[in-house]
């Protein structure tokens, strides 16, 4: 539970707690030893998620970080590189795992609002480099882009990056922790997004509201290899159908309602932009995340976060002048009204 005094928790979409229906599904789950491939609920989740994303096979993982790092591991290795956005979760928020576990080096591109520009990405790519330079083995994309404020990668850009990289044998991994949100916001199918890349990770524990879990999908051969690496990293799990059941329940019952989170985030952003013009570009609030640039009104993020906290709203100081607020299953219209009132009081400059 959030700390005392928190009435509306917008810290992250990971703060949700399982619903009564989800808990029942967990309690009723049929289970077995998944290390031996004998958990029917895990297998069902893996197969359903793979099919949804247009891939052959899936692998249930305890975290999105592990699913991403297995994806990176499959396509690269010591002395080869991944290229990604400078604010990519795989490089900024997974504690250097690609370098630590897999000896992978990285270079980054910068973007406007997190949207990958094909010319920039393909210009950075250096496959089959000479004896002195590191060869690019993988392009990693994030959709939606967390630290850029939940922005969506335009489909045409994804297609152009795929088309430009494939002839060079450069693989693509998609960090789709919130691909669900991109799908609901754009109407582009999960399979269409999945078809653009070699591997995808999706989180069940973000806005969908499961307590834990991510799924990595890809080819049958790739997932067999990822399964070995997952066990090697110490994440071979046993009767985790209990957790997979929560994930299946989330996809069945909580996917369409992500549209409500998007509408509430947009409504909040409009109100914030009204009281403090320039603090947020409302058109960039495409999904469930609002990123406030409080530097525009000469304020520090920590101070603004404290102002919201005084009014019962918890949010996150993402950078010295950036405040992030994230909508999810446990925040309704009334909670959004409270957040808007807190924004009016906190951001108002006489």
Q: How near is the Cβ of 72 to ligand PLP at its closest, in Å?
A: 12
Query: Given the rule CB under 6 A, which of 37-45, 108-116, 199-207, 235-243 is the region that contacts ligand PLP?
Result: 199-207
Angle at 337 between CA 335 and CA 341, to 5 degrees: 120
User: How far is it, in rounded angstroms, from Cα 331 to Cα 235?
Assistant: 32
Q: Is the dihedral of CA 242, 243, 244, 248 positive or negative?
A: positive
By CB under 6 A, is residue 89 in contact with ligand PLP? yes
User: How far is it, in rounded angstroms, from Cα 50 to Cα 60?
Assistant: 11
Indicate the SS3 state at residue 329: coil
By CB under 6 A, is residue 177 in contact with ligand PLP? yes
User: How far is it, in rounded angstroms, from Cα 251 to Cα 267?
Assistant: 25
- State which of residues 203, 216, 243, 342 lies at the interface with ligand PLP (CB under 6 A): 203
Tokens (6 digits) for 96: 């250097």
Q: How near is the Cβ of 128 to ligand PLP at its closest, in Å?
A: 29
Tokens (6 digits) for 17: 């707690």
Q: How near is the Cβ of 206 to ligand PLP at its closest, in Å?
A: 6
Q: Which is nearer to ligand PLP, 203 or 273 (CB)?
A: 203
Tokens (6 digits) for 143: 């959709």
By CB under 6 A, is residue 108 in contact with ligand PLP? no
Q: How near is the Cβ of 112 to ligand PLP at its closest, in Å?
A: 18
By CB under 6 A, is residue 260 in contact with ligand PLP? no
By CB under 6 A, is residue 175 in contact with ligand PLP? yes
By CB under 6 A, is residue 65 in contact with ligand PLP? yes
* Cβ–Cβ < 8 Å for 72, 82: yes
- For ligand PLP, the binding residues in 126-165 under the rule CB under 6 A are 142, 146
* Cβ–Cβ < 8 Å for 189, 255: no
By CB under 6 A, is residue 106 in contact with ligand PLP? no
Residues β-bridged to residue 82: 106, 138
- By the criterion CB under 6 A, which residues form the site for ligand PLP? 63-65, 68, 89, 142, 146, 175, 177, 203, 205-206, 214
């Amino acid at each position: 539970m959030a700390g005392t005094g928190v009435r509306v928790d917008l810290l992250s979409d990971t703060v949700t707690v399982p619903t009564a229906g989800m808990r029942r599904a967990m309690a009723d789950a049929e289970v077995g030893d998944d290390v031996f491939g004998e958990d029917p609920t895990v297998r069902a989740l893996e197969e359903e998620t793979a099919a949804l994303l247009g891939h052959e096979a899936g692998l249930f993982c305890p975290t999105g970080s592990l699913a991403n790092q297995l994806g990176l591991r499959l396509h690269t290795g010591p002395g080869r590189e991944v290229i990604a956005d400078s604010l990519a979760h795989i490089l900024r928020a997974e504690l250097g795992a690609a370098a630590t576990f897999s000896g992978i080096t990285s270079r980054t591109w910068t973007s406007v609002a997190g949207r990958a520009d094909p010319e920039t990405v393909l210009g950075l790519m250096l496959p089959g480099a000479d004896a002195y330079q590191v060869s690019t083995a993988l392009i990693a994309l994030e959709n939606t882009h967390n630290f850029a404020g939940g922005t969506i990668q335009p489909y045409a850009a994804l297609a152009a990056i795929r088309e430009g990289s494939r002839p060079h044998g450069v693989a693509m991994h998609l960090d789709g922790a919130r691909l669900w949100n991109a799908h609901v916001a754009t109407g582009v199918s999960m399979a269409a997004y999945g078809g653009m890349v070699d591997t995808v990770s999706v989180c069940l524990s973000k806005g969908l509201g499961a307590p834990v879990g991510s799924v990595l999908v890809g080819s049958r051969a790739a997932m067999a290899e990822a399964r070995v690496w997952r066990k090697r990293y110490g994440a071979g799990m046993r009767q985790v159908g209990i957790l997979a059941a929560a994930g299946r329940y989330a996809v069945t019952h909580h996917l369409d309602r992500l549209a409500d989170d998007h509408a509430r985030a947009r409504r909040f952003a409009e109100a914030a932009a009204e009281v403090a013009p320039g603090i947020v570009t409302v058109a960039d609030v495409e999904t469930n995340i609002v990123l406030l640039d409080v530097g525009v009104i000469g304020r520090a993020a920590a101070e603004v976060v404290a102002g919201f906290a005084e009014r019962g709203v918890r949010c996150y100081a993402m950078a010295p002048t950036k405040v992030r607020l994230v909508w999810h299953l446990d925040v309704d219209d009334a909670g959004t009204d409270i957040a808007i009132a807190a924004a009016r009081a906190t951001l108002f400059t006489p």
